Amino acid sequence: MLIAPDRGNLHKIVILNPKGGCGKTTLATNIAAYYAMQGPAPTLADLDPKGYSKRWLEKRNSNRPSIHGGGAHLSMMQGREALQLQLSAETETLIIDLPAALNSADLQDVTYNAGSILIPVLPSAIDINCASRFIAELLLLAQIDRRNQQLAVVANRTRQNTKSYRMLARFLTSLSIPLIAVLRDSQNYVHAAGRGIGIGEMPRYLIHKDVEQFERIIDWLDRWRVRKREAARSLRFESFSGAKAPTPANHHHRH
């Protein structure tokens, strides 16, 4: 059981996938580095026993923009062992890097009140089948409502206009879940990870092929308050009229 502070100004970003090696840590560390550059310092909570995000933080030079490591302590709540995250008062962005294996109760706990839930997926048949089962579990067991617009997928280490990419896009379209970015198989992410930095902290001329897609992720994340308001308005409309409100189009500009 995971308990994170429930603050109105806190953007809780949860990164999930039941399959290892799909790029959860790459996504978590690069998002953390971006928000560190913008300030105030975000918190990166590594709850994966393998500790990849934690090791990335340990490599980070002290002269880089600050990122808090997510401290936690165990306690008992409702007869279950609970992991309580302790956040700095200045933290406005919390990024949670999770282990692959989570039961349905844990899924509910970690996604509760999340502003954004990101699922990185490798576009192979095996990975797409695994992701499809996991997304179904999120929607049914963790009771994630697609109308809340908090769930999105990032295709990792792929190229657009390939058969596997089209397979992934068709699957997500059928579920009305947005595919917000396609990250290519780039050594920039490998080099950044080895130095405890994000690709956004590398020279622009080195990352120009990667930065556009990564900024699509940031654009979607930055809209978390707007998405929350739109979802609430849509649900109110449905409750009054009994009709389904039109889904707002995704925008890729910064708010």
- Phi first, then psi: what are they for 153, rounded to 5°? -120, 140
Q: List, for residues 87-105, the tens digit of each pLDDT value.
A: 888 899 999 998 877 777 7
Q: What percent of the chain has pLDDT over 90?
A: 42
> pTM here?
0.85
Q: List, for residues 15-47, the tens digit of each pLDDT value.
A: 998 777 888 999 999 999 999 999 999 999 988
At 180 the pLDDT is: 94
Distance from the Cα of residue 29 to its chain's centroid: 11
Q: What are the Cα distances from residue 3, in Å, to 36, 58, 72, 181?
A: 23, 24, 9, 29
The answer to which of 46-55, 152-161, 233-242 has the lowest mean pLDDT is: 233-242
Token pair 């879940």 is found at 177
